[in-house]
Each structure stands twice: as structure tokens, then as C-alpha cells.
């Protein structure tokens, strides 16, 4: 089952493309990260999914419903927290929860109390007197308390200090069983924060999808490769595989690149044949390193096309 299905989802503002031909599925039960730099189309995607924008072309289904058909009652199943979310800052945390409770028949007071304690939120302090991080926790608490099936987070780490970001991530990871939303979709350009959080990732750049797959599979097939020998660059001057990204020759005896189709011993054996006598160093990559390699490759291709 998929919580979200997008097919050729496109949004233009005049002649400017904000999102182009996005085809994507978010499996039910996943924590899915939509990654990319500012302006890549992440927020546009979320607004299309939540019926805050209408697509120029293409379709999206959210929890089995067409995104353009979502109505207020459907949002009892969907939670949304944004970095620029407006809150009634004159209220304190207890008043905020009391205000939200009547809108959601499935509101769970016991869960709200546990989360308030876990997030270390003072119930009697006005929101305007809380730090940005504490206000984000309050917004998350007021959303999780009605047990949404789908939780959508738009740049939830923006402007938060490292400790608060860590608390925020732990707040999601440590939710037990039914306390955690069945599916979480978050957009962010802070890749380090989702390294241990997301089990599926999609990379957007310049309004286009670069890739989408399980995080473990992605990390498994990307490696930084360095070869040192008498003249490794000359051995691969032509017919380099398309899967080799970011080719560099820092010296006549060294080549470096990213292999996006690494398959362990088989790849290393093939490199030994292609670069006889060269010393091979293979290093795993973080999601940040993978994204930067892909983004640089796309930028170079765009410059060459121009």
C-alpha cells in the first residue's frame, strides 16, 4: 500500500516551472524524506499534496483520495507542521491543546500529556515567550495528539539549534507503536538531520526529481572511489561508464570519482581489470555526499546543454 502516489505532477507559475513531471510513491509506514536545496520544489510538492495549490498538470493521491478533492474532514487524518507555521502566540501550551482538541474526534489526552512531558514543554508559558524550537515542539505536539495517519513536515529543522534538532528527531523516533503516525513525509535541505531518521529518500533539484529509493539501497550503491597508480587517468580517458560521477584527476597518478552502481566485490574486481596495478580505495557515502554528487552532475549537464 502507498500513502501517496504522484504521477507527472507539475506546477508552473506563469512561465516558471516550480515542479516538473514528478512521479513518486510514498509507501505506507515509511519515514520519507524529500530532499533538495531551497527552490528545488519541495514546498510546492507538499502544497500540491495538501490541496493548497492546484497542479498545472498531473495527479496526486493522498491516503487514497485525489489531492484536489481533499476536504476539511480529511485533514483529521493528516498532520502538517511547517517551519513558518502560524500559532496563536498569546496562548500558552495548555490553551493551544484545549483549543485544538474539539476539532479532532480521535484526540488522545493521554498521548498529549506524555508528549508534553517528553518534549519538556511548560504548559503555562505563552507561546510568544518560548524559543523557536519550543514553539516547533508545541506545533508537533498539537498535531501528534490527534494521531494522524500521515504527518507532513515542511523544513521542520529550519533555524533550530543542534540540540533542539536532535530532540525533534528523537521525538519522532522514540514514539512507540501506535503513537507514531503511520507515515511521515518531510521536506528538508538539512541532510544531516535525516540521516538516521528517513528510510526512503527522494532528491529534487531545479524542480525535477533526480532519484527516489530506499535510503539503505541508495547508500549501498554509492561509493567514493580513488585509484592511485602509474597512469590511471590514461586507462579511462574514454568510454567511462555513465554511473561514474564527478570524475577528477588531482594528479597524473590519481583519479577520483563517485560510482553510483557499486556492487561490492564485483565492482572492485572490474576496477582491478580496468586499472591494473592501481591501488584502490573505496569509501561509503552519507546522504549529503550522495546528494552533492548528484546535484553537481546535474548542474554540469545543464551548463553543457546551455
Reported as a single tens digit per residue, the pLDDT across 246-274 is 888 888 888 899 999 999 889 999 988 88
Q: In what order do the strands lie in the sheet with 208-214?
A: 78-82, 150-154, 183-188, 31-35, 200-205, 208-214
Note the pLDDT of residue 132.
84
Note the pLDDT of residue 285.
94
Q: Is 242 exposed, middle or buried (0-12, 13-18, 19+ CB in 10 A)?
A: exposed
Q: Which of 151, 153, 139 is nearest to 189 (CA)?
A: 153
Name the CA dihedral angle for 234, 235, 240, 243, rounded to a multiple of 10 degrees.
-110
Note the pLDDT of residue 230.
65
Note the pLDDT of residue 232.
62
CA distances from 77 to 62, 149, 231, 273 (A): 10, 5, 60, 56
- 206 Rama class: left (phi>0) / alpha (psi -120 to 50) / beta: left
**Mean pLDDT (whole number) for 286-304:** 82
Q: Which of 227, 218, 241 is nearest to 282 (CA)?
A: 227
Cα(41)–Cα(45) distance, rounded to whole angstroms?
6
Mean of pLDDT over the chain: 87
Please state which of the ranges 11-25, 210-224, 292-306 shows the lowest mean pLDDT. Answer: 292-306
Strands 223-228 and 279-284: antiparallel
Take residue 291 and report the three cell numbers written for it: 546528494
Query: Bigger pLDDT: 295 or 7?
Result: 7
**Mean pLDDT (whole number) for 165-173:** 69
* Residue 226: CB atoms within 10 Å: 17
> pLDDT, tens digit, for every residue of 80-113?
998 778 889 899 999 999 999 999 999 999 999 9
> pLDDT, tens digit, for every residue of 124-139?
899 999 888 888 889 9
- SS3 per residue for 13-42: ECCEEEEEEEEEEEECCCEEEEECCCCCCH
* Residue 131: CB atoms within 10 Å: 11
Q: Is the pTM of this model over 0.95?
A: no
Say whether pLDDT at 206 is over 90.
Answer: no
Note the pLDDT of residue 25.
96
**Mean pLDDT (whole number) for 261-288:** 90
Cα maximum dimension of the chain:
73
Amino acid at each position: 500500500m502507498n500513502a501517496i502516489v504522484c504521477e507527472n505532477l507539475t506546477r508552473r507559475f506563469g512561465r516558471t516551472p516550480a515542479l516538473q513531471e514528478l512521479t513518486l510513491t510514498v509507501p505506507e509506514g515509511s519515514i520519507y524524506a524529500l530532499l533538495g536545496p531551497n527552490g528545488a520544489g519541495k514546498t510546492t510538492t507538499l502544497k500540491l499534496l495538501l490541496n493548497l495549490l492546484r497542479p498545472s498538470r498531473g495527479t496526486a493521491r493522498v491516503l487514497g483520495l485525489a489531492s484536489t478533492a481533499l476536504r476539511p474532514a480529511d485533514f483529521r487524518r493528516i498532520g502538517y507542521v511547517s517551519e513558518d507555521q502560524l500559532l496563536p502566540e498569546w496562548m500558552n501550551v495548555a490553551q493551544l491543546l484545549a483549543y485544538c482538541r474539539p476539532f479532532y474526534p480521535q484526540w488522545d489526552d493521554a498521548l498529549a500529556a506524555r508528549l508534553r512531558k517528553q518534549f519538556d514543554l511548560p504548559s503555562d508559558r505563552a507561546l510568544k515567550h518560548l524559543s523557536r524550537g519550543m514553539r516547533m515542539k508545541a506545533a508537533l505536539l498539537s498535531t501528534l495528539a490527534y494521531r494522524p495517519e500521515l504527518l507532513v513536515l515542511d523544513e521542520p529543522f529550519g533555524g533550530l539549534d543542534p540540540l533542539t534538532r536532535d530532540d525533534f528527531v528523537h521525538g519522532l523516533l522514540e514514539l512507540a507503536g501506535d503513537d507514531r503516525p503511520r507515515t511521515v513525509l518531510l521536506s528538508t535541505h538539512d541532510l544531516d538531520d535525516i540521516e538516521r531518521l528517513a528510510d526512503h529518500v527522494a532528491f529534487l533539484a531545479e524542480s525535477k526529481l533526480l532519484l527516489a529509493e530506499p535510503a539503505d539501497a541508495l547508500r549501498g550503491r554509492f561509493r567514493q572511489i580513488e585509484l592511485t597508480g602509474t597512469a590511471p587517468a590514461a586507462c579511462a580517458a574514454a568510454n567511462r561508464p555513465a554511473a561514474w560521477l564527478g570524475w577528477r584527476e588531482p594528479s597524473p597518478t590519481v583519479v577520483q570519482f563517485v560510482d553510483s552502481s557499486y556492487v561490492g566485490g564485483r565492482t572492485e574486481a572490474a576496477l582491478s581489470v580496468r586499472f591494473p596495478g592501481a591501488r584502490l580505495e573505496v569509501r561509503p557515502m552519507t546522504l549529503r555526499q550522495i546528494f552533492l554528487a548528484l546535484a553537481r552532475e546535474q548542474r554540469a549537464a545543464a551548463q553543457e546543454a546551455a
